[in-house]
Chains A and B, each alone.
Chain A
């Protein structure tokens, strides 16, 4: 898969489910041929999508505790920013971010990773 860096075309958006399918401060997994993607929902219903792999030892971020706009990895408690995919300092690392949007309570995901 290639990073595009621009807003995905309409055709690239995949409907993956309803907002109510993800618990607040929780996450769900989207299985894709290229690996799992974790879709997170914050306390105020913002939605983010990250590759379901912690930059540290590959732990499934979808299984972590979500707080603020961060998730704590279940394996060794690294924290990852949901919006940038970056590890919270002083840890260093980054996981891929996917474009995601909600419209009328439905969640749409683009499989192209954001390059910025």
Chain B
């Protein structure tokens, strides 16, 4: 008997969903199967969603090839291109192609896609009547555009309009015929549809709406179209783009349960457990999908099961739509029509060509339609997917995220209008052209892909919306990972919140215990999850968790900030920013003694000594300790500074002693580890010289007491604080501050600043926990103070005394 090493996997359908599944499978289990692929089209695998730009002459077929023949060869995959499968013999576990080729399988993957729907009117089979689905159709259209003049596109949906636009670009006189009164009525409401129609009309397209086609007329070839109302127009080419139907014939004939599509469960398995299905042919939880993002999610899940890992589940996708017509910005997602239980917020500027509508239910976004200015599409989509309560921001929701204070790219909101050399990512110097090039050239589909390949949006993240827009513009749909779940890192499928809950509920007390309980996919995590887990443990078990030194970033191991040349900077704590001549003298002497190359005054009212060699750190700290200084934690995800003004002690406008208040807060909070850096400030009057309203926790003194503000940020995304509450006494300030910090420590995700955290959970929630519920506040504050007992040890004096000596000296000097 022939010895077989591998099981056989056969893929029917050489399209995007099926091949993506293979790619995912090869990534996680490269040697699991002998793979054979059957494809009806005579090509390798190409990016079907980019056919519209090919038709419009903006791209070539070569630009949109995803995998050519060599890819199949390199991965040991047998490709039968141009061979359609005629029959699946489930009993013998064999598939048979039209030309007689047959192949047996142990597992079968169906990715047969969908077929364009053809109106069954007389004349539908005349030469010159086509659909818009594959390379052949595009070739036919390009050819027709060279030889003929009049084109009629039946169907005013996404695909129909893209076809019409392409044919117009190719020089034809194009009329779009649509049964409904509104273009793209499944994605747009009447207002947005009207605006779209107007701008397409201005580009020279003709429209006949609310009209039903009765017959295609012509003898040898199509000559015209006749409508139910008796009108006729002439046509040399008719493109039917009225919808797609999942291609289920083959599956049905093989006795696999189908409804509108091939029915699959959450593991992408069909009625026959040996047969899986992905892509447009699939019906999952009563839904079928025609956009790329859901198909890729399905591919990932399916690969996971084919590789016999068996833990991934597909739970359905939320999708959004963009029209790939250059120069037209249009976005739609979710339920944008609404009903009696929903409300709408609308902004309409007909002359300016801008329309935005958001549909809300119980203060959560159900859907959105935008025309003209779509920069916030990704943001609305995100809010919708995460089910965020928007009651705190609904009064300025339609003005967009920029209005919430994201000044990163203020004013720039139409990537379509940007030139290729305009910079998108200021941190890494990446231009629009680089990103678009990478998306098409390197076949990228997700934000993560773009980040990995171009570095755009991978540093401060303020250009994320722009990059997402570029992706959407180039690919035609917004990528959405599983709606509500974002894994902590690639090592796990569990979210930050799930892991944090698990730590408490199952009393997981060290990193290996977490990785075991949650079945981490890697042996010892990565540079993303380990620091997060270390913080979560520290926060959950302040008295008995031993810090995992190797899971901290270098700055927190060396208790100093690494600089670009590998030296470090040293920032001692200067309580409340108030110092003395003696302190300054001590600092000056220390800086001279160690020949510190640069001394700089920081924005947080402290003194930064830069260019210190690592070996020198313990010595310089020893001297600083002797002079009474402790670590300023300028290097940590920790409490940084408390900035103050001179307040009522000196200032003629001061209403309270802001300096003492600031020092008091800093003495209370220093040494505490946080999800991210935390900056505070106390201003002595509403003139706010300490800039308290762009801090994580800001205090502004008024005659009657203190105003407390939270969630501000002065960095890449300038965000003014939200007003939390007004209190009367310094004790109350302290209690609220401790409670707020503890809530942030316990519930924010690692590396999430207070600003995005407050936006994510909503100010109302923070108010409820910290302001309205006094008992809750006191408990939070108590937990903060308890953990401070263990945290308030000066790391500098400890290290000057010899702790972690190995960190600061070389293992050996070779001369």
Contacts and interface: CB of A to CB of B under 8 A. Distances in A.
Interface of A: 14, 16-17, 21-26, 28-33, 36, 39, 43, 57, 59-60, 63-68, 72, 74-75, 77, 79, 90-91, 111
Contacts of B527: 64-65, 67, 72, 77, 79
Contact of A67 (B522, B555, B562): B522
A90 B814 contact: no
Q: Which among B453, B531, B564, B811 has the greatest number of chain A C-beta atoms within 10 A?
A: B811
B354 interface: no
B4 interface: no
B811 A67 contact: no
Q: Which among B531, B813, B815 has the greatest number of chain A C-beta atoms within 10 A?
A: B813
B530 A64 contact: no
Contacts of B557: 63
B271 interface: no
B554 A64 contact: yes
A111 B813 CA distance: 12
Q: Which 7 A-B pairs have the closest CB atoms?
A: A72-B527, A28-B811, A65-B527, A63-B554, A25-B550, A74-B554, A16-B812
A70 B555 CA distance: 19
B569 interface: no
A111 B452 CA distance: 33
A14 B811 CA distance: 12
A74 B811 contact: no
B810 A75 contact: no
B524 A23 contact: no
Given A72-B527, A74-B554, 16 more contacts: A14-B814, A17-B811, A23-B806, A29-B811, A30-B810, A30-B811, A43-B524, A65-B531, A65-B550, A65-B552, A67-B522, A67-B525, A67-B527, A67-B530, A68-B524, A90-B442
A24 B549 CA distance: 10
B525 A63 contact: no
A32 B813 CA distance: 6
Contacts of A77: 527
B314 interface: no
A21 B811 contact: yes
Contacts of A36: 810
B618 to A, nearest CB: 16
B807 to A, nearest CB: 9
A46 B60 CA distance: 50
B522 A31 contact: no
Interface string B3-25: 00000000000000000000000
A43 B552 CA distance: 16
19 contacts: A17-B812, A22-B811, A23-B549, A25-B550, A30-B811, A30-B813, A32-B814, A33-B814, A36-B810, A59-B564, A63-B558, A63-B566, A65-B551, A65-B554, A66-B550, A67-B530, A90-B442, A90-B452, A111-B814
B590 to A, nearest CB: 24
Given A23-B549, A25-B524, A39 B811 contact: yes
B308 interface: no
B523 interface: yes
Contacts of A67: 522, 524-527, 530
Contacts of A26: 549-550
Given A67-B524, A67-B527, A31 B812 contact: yes
B518 interface: no
B553 interface: yes
Contacts of B564: 57, 59, 75
For the side of the interface on B, what is the size category? 20 to 34
Contacts of B811: 16-17, 21-22, 28-30, 39
Given A74-B553, A111-B814, A68 B566 contact: no
Contacts of B526: 65, 67-68, 72
Contacts of A29: 810-811
Contact of B814 (A31, A63, A65): A31
A63 B562 contact: yes
A65 B92 CA distance: 53
A30 B554 CA distance: 18
Contacts of A72: 526-527
A75 B564 CA distance: 7
Nearest to A21: B811
Contacts of B810: 28-31, 36
Given A23-B550, A63-B562, A64-B554, A30 B812 contact: yes
A109 to B, nearest CB: 8
Contacts of B813: 30-32
A69 to B, nearest CB: 10
B227 to A, nearest CB: 53
Nearest to B550: A25
A75 B812 CA distance: 24
Interface in B450-469: 452-453
B511 to A, nearest CB: 10
A33 B813 CA distance: 9
A89 B551 CA distance: 23
Given A65-B551, A72-B527, A74-B554, A90 B453 contact: yes
Contact of A75 (B523, B562, B814): B562
Interface string B552-576: 1111011000101010000000000
Contacts of A22: 806, 811
Contacts of B522: 67-68
Nearest to A26: B550
A77 to B, nearest CB: 7
B814 A74 contact: no
Interface string B518-559: 000011111100110000000000000000011111110110
Interface string B775-815: 00000000000000000000000000000001000111111
A60 B524 contact: no
Contacts of B524: 25, 43, 67-68
Q: Which among A14, A64, A72 has the greatest number of chain B C-beta atoms within 10 A?
A: A72
Nearest to A15: B812
Interface in B425-473: 442, 452-453
A60 B814 CA distance: 18
A77 B528 CA distance: 10
A72 B562 CA distance: 14
